[in-house]
Amino acid sequence: MKQEWLEKDYYNDLGVDKTASQDDIKQSFRKLAQKLHPDANPDDAAAEERFKRVSEAYAVISDEEQRGQYDEMQRLGASGGFPGGTAGGAGGGFNGQNIRIEDLGDLFGGAGGFSDLFGGGNRRGGPARGHDLQTRIDISFPDSIFGVARKLPLRGDVTCDKCKGAGGQPGTGTTICPNCSGAGSTISSGGFFQSQQICQQCSGSGRIVTEPCVQCKGRGTEYKSRMLTIRVPAGVKPHAVIRARGKGAPGAKGGPAGDLLVTVNVKSDPNFGRRGDHVTTTLPVAFTDAALGADIAVQTLTDSVTLRIPAGTPSESTFRVKGRGVPVKKGKDGDLLVTVNIVVPKKLSRKAKKLLEQFRDEHERIGAGS
């Protein structure tokens, strides 16, 4: 659990109720991510900041375990959570005393118990990890079946080439942070306990640069365009999310980068569909071929095969072409499912009409005699 969870309303950030299902959470996140994505709002700092909050909220409450921990922390914060105390105000805590988080360890199983619950203790926080980023790519139906590598243009913060994210001019050193005296964190009082937070001036490193980098002005990051290759695996399903680790926003002061989450949108195909690991298609068949039987060419995703249509085949019959569906790494490949659609001509020549009338009369005579 993290201490900052007490101060954040992730459900409000995502615009969902606290009892929302995972499907509702996912749907709301996708809608907000598309609306607030930096690519859709260039040079809009407010949209970018909200996009980060939405991404952070989704990362927590889309995970059942983290969501449970977050809900419990919110409950404790709202109710006081402990005998004789409330979450804030005068007289909070244990009978009005100021209690440090690390002093409560014995109540929660000894050292590390309560301190770990709130991310506190005497541990120094390291450089903050960068935020996860969200984007989307569109691929064709065949590419979703066989896989594809796509170049993805991105625009945003990247690690500074000159200082490698350190924020200082190369060749210069660092000095102890005056805000936290080198601890990497600061202590603030918040009701019944004192909370420990990562120092905002040094981002948890305990030190600050003596001479800021001239290229990034000490930020450690630059705003620029980059090109990333994303490999979409064979058999990917619509709306699947591919995680490119370490390809998200860079961390502060050399901290690890976040991940890039790529939602895959599979374009519809006029000739093919999908059912699990099977590819589906429809085959138009003349009613005479359906009645008499025929060998008909069927187009697959890669080539053409010949399908035997037995005599008397009714419409909506489905035939299976083995191994022409979704490739499966470990197991049996999917099949191509071919559904017959019998085509009746709208116009007939005089001769064809006469022959069909003779056929109908013959068919009725045989039927009457049986």
Q: Of 149, 338, 324, 133, whose CA–CA distance to 236 is shortest?
A: 149
Tokens 């619509």 sit at which residue? Answer: 238
The pLDDT, as a whole number, for residue 232 is: 95
Q: How far apart, in whole angstroms, are the C-alpha atoms of residue 328 and residue 145?
A: 10
The pLDDT, as a whole number, for residue 113 is: 36
Instruction: Please report, as a single letter, which amino acid is at residue 136.
Output: R
* CATH code of the domain occupying 288-369: 2.60.260.20
Q: Fold identical between 129-171+214-268 and 288-369? A: yes
List CB contacts of 283: < 8 A, sequence separation 6 or more: 296, 298, 307, 338, 339, 340, 341
The pLDDT, as a whole number, for residue 369 is: 56
Backbone angles phi, psi at 29, to 5 degrees: -65, -45
Q: How far apart, in whole angstroms, are the C-alpha atoms of residue 312 and residue 308?
A: 12
Which CATH architecture describes the domain 129-171+214-268? Sandwich (2.60)
List the chain pLDDT tens, one digit each, 370 residues. 566 777 889 999 999 999 899 989 988 988 888 888 777 777 788 888 888 888 888 888 888 888 888 888 887 766 555 343 333 333 333 333 333 333 333 333 333 333 333 333 334 445 668 889 999 999 999 999 999 999 999 888 888 888 888 888 898 888 888 888 888 888 776 555 567 777 877 777 788 888 989 998 888 888 888 899 999 999 999 999 999 999 988 887 667 889 999 999 999 999 999 999 999 999 999 988 998 999 999 999 999 999 999 999 999 999 999 999 999 877 788 999 999 999 988 888 999 888 888 888 877 776 655 5
Domain boundaries, the chain: 129-171+214-268, 288-369
Q: How far apart, in whole angstroms, are the C-alpha atoms of residue 74 and residue 8?
A: 9
